[in-house]
Each structure stands twice: as C-alpha cells, then as structure tokens.
Structure 1
Amino acid sequence: MAGGWTRDGAVQDQIDDTVKDAVALARALTPHGPSAEDCDDCGEPIPPKRRAALAGVRTCIACQAERDKAVRHSAINRRGSKDSQLR
C-alpha cells in the first residue's frame, strides 16, 4: 500500500535499509583476529571460554558491560522522517 507520493513497498525498503545499516555497523564493531589473554581495561585474565566464543575479544565481561552502557544510539530515523517526506 502506497501513501501520498511514495511507491508500493517504499516503507518496507526504508525498514530494510535501516536493518542492513545496523547489521553492517555491528559487524564492523565486532572484534576479529587473535584474542587478548588479559583485559585491555583492567588487566584481569579473560576466561578461555570467552576468548573461544568471541574471536578478537580484548576486554573482560565486566569491562565490556561498562563500555556497552556508554554507547549512544540516535533516536531519529532519518529515512522515515515525516518532515523530509513533506518537503
């Protein structure tokens, strides 16, 4: 169902593009390569099971949890902005 000036499927295309962008960003931020044996932040040993589960891990679970709290995400969906569609 198209609305206004949009073609059929345009809204779904916006959703798909947003998901693809999020997946690409997550893949880019995922560590790769050899894992560290000690945490880069606190120096504590990283458990062998964590190193085996996630290649390229550089932090222990506690330090990674703190890093994850500091991540900010944009609350604005620029592709789906009604203001941009009205202009």
Structure 2
Amino acid sequence: MRQLSASAYRPDISTPLHAMRRRRRMADIIDRASEQAERERLACIERQSAAASRSAVPSGVLDCVDCDEPIPAQRRARVPGATRCVDCESAAEQHAAHFAR
C-alpha cells in the first residue's frame, strides 16, 4: 500500500473556491486595519482639538493682561487673540528679544 504525503491531504490551493476565500480573508484583514487606522486618526484629531481649545485665548479678552487698559477694537480685529495693548506688547517683545540673545 502506498503512503500519501502530508501535502496530499491539503486542498488544492488553486481551486477557485479556495482563492475566493483567501481573497475575502485578506480583504477582511485590510478592512479591519483601515478601520483601526481611521479610528486612531480621528482620536488624534480629537486630542489635538481638545488641547487647542484648552490653550486658546478666550475671545472675550477686552483688557490688557499687563496694564488692565482696554485693548482697542481695531487691534482686537486685526490680531485675533491679542491679550495685550500695543504698548505692552511692544514692551514684552523687546524684553523677550533682550533675553533671547
């Protein structure tokens, strides 16, 4: 009696049904990987958005944080998020430039 090798028990991998199942499994794996990547991307965007909103300057800042004088409407319109009046901002920039050297 002739012995059959282990490969004789394996289905023929060239059959159309086997190839279709293999493609379907591969597509499922790729779909799951794409969905996971999309979830991670959206979570990253959400974290960045939350961090930005926490650090954002409130839009209702009307007075200079240094001298408590009103920030002119024209400056607030041209520089959204401005927290200092022009004089205090100039002084802060000069101070920063002096210590940056």
Higher helix share: 2
Larger Rg: 2
Flag whether TM exceeds 0.5 (same fold).
no
| TM-score, structure 1 normalization | 0.41
| TM-score, structure 2 normalization | 0.37
RCO higher in structure (CA 8 A, sep ≥6): 1
